[in-house]
Amino acid sequence: MKFVSIIIGSNSDFDVMKKCTETFEKFNVNYELTVLSLYDSIEKIKDYIKCAEEKGAVSFIVASSINGCLASSVASGTTKPIIAVPIKDKNFDGSTAILSTINKPLAMPVATVALDEEGAINSAYLAVQILALNDNELAVKLKEDRIVMLNKVQTAAKNIEVLL
């Protein structure tokens, strides 16, 4: 069974990443979620990645407010796509999370999306796009969703526009 693996760095990151799981549920995309951190051994992280791939993981979404290096640790253990979601720490404005997430080693790419809830949602959409490359039904659902979103924006615009 194909699915997306969501790895969060701590329990507190789930509050943000709940938006990711809700997006997967909207598209009926299978996912699993686990908590791993850099406090775990690299062997534990790599064991999880290997197990997830054997079960059918197609991509990994990694989110952490503690350390952006978690995405690199995951990337070092797989050639599957990695999507990183930087999450603001209560002590910083978010720039630290973004900078530590986007600076990655050569040849271990990590796609970094927006910060916090917007990033959680966009990470799910990116993973859905990856899955839709080989799933025509999912590709149709994704296109239909885009049309619905476009219609909402156009309707909202009509309600506020003042044109001469």
Q: What are the tokens at 92?
A: 């910083």
Name every residue whose Cβ is closer than 8 Å to that of residue 86 and which is 6 or more positions away in sequence. Answer: 63, 68, 94, 97, 98, 100, 101, 112, 115, 116, 119
Q: Please indicate if the annotation marks 10 as binding a ligand.
A: yes
Residue spans of alpha helices (H) in 6-162: 14-26, 42-55, 69-75, 95-102, 116-132, 136-160
Rounded CA separation 108/22 (Å): 28
Q: Which residues are annotated as a binding site for substrate?
A: 10, 13
Q: Which residues are annotated as a binding site?
A: 10, 13
